[in-house]
């Protein structure tokens, strides 16, 4: 029996996904909302953590999962439901150590097999996501640099970004300078253009 902890903040989607997973052979499904993951992990832990990269608050979920250790040692096997046009979420999932990348538009008939494979220590990447994941793995910007650049792309000033992220303006300028340097750009606008063309923001 493979136990899957499904983390999702939208009740209807969470119930629907749990119902779908529960039809799989040898699958037990538990569910949790964002903020209740640690409580759901008390007692015998799940074999796989599954979340949706379109789920509100999912980046916080990924950050929380990164800090958790499974009872047998090491991180919990993490799987994400995603799409190829979600590079930022893919990047964060990659950094969180996700072992499973499942295309939301794939057939569902072998989803339980994917869960069993991950529980046994394997990896799974749907072919439709492989190229996007490769691009993400090669992205040079850190999550903070990417976040600052994304806010700048949205029109925020340095002072505005600093206020939103609780940073000093000087720190924000340093992040922007690093993003410009790492992307090989000439200036901020060029860095934003390159990041958008690469699908990073």
Using one digit for the tens of pLDDT, what is the confidence trace for 113-144? 999 999 998 889 888 888 777 777 677 888 78
Residue % of the chain over a pLDDT of 90: 36
Using one digit for the tens of pLDDT, what is the confidence trace for 21-42? 999 889 999 998 777 777 777 6
Side-by-side strand order, sheet with 100-103? 27-32, 2-7, 48-52, 78-82, 100-103, 124-125
Residue 74, pLDDT above cutoff 80: no
Coil, strand or helix at 115: helix
Q: Between 73 and 13, whose confidence is greater?
A: 13
What is the radius of gyration, based on Cα positions, of the chain?
A: 18
In 15-73, which ranges are E strands?
27-32, 48-52
């Amino acid at each position: 029996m493979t136990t899957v902890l499904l983390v999702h903040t939208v009740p209807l989607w969470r119930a629907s996904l749990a119902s779908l997973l529960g039809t799989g052979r040898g699958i037990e499904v538990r569910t949790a909302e964002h903020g209740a993951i640690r409580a759901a992990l008390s007692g015998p832990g799940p074999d796989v953590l599954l979340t949706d990269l379109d789920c509100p608050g999912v980046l916080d979920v990924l950050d929380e999962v990164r800090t958790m250790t499974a009872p047998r040692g090491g991180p919990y096997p993490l799987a994400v439901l995603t799409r190829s046009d979600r590079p930022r979420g893919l990047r964060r999932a990659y950094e969180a150590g996700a072992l499973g990348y499942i295309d939301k538009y794939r057939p569902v008939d072998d989803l339980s097999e994917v869960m069993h494979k991950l529980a046994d220590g394997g990896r799974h990447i749907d072919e439709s996501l492989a190229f996007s994941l490769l691009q993400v793995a090669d992205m040079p910007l850190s999550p903070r640099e990417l976040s600052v650049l994304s806010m700048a792309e949205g029109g925020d000033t340095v002072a505005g970004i600093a206020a939103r992220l609780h940073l000093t303006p000087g720190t924000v300028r340093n992040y922007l300078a690093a993003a410009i340097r790492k992307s090989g750009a000439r200036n901020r606008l060029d860095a934003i253009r390159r990041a958008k063309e690469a699908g990073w923001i």
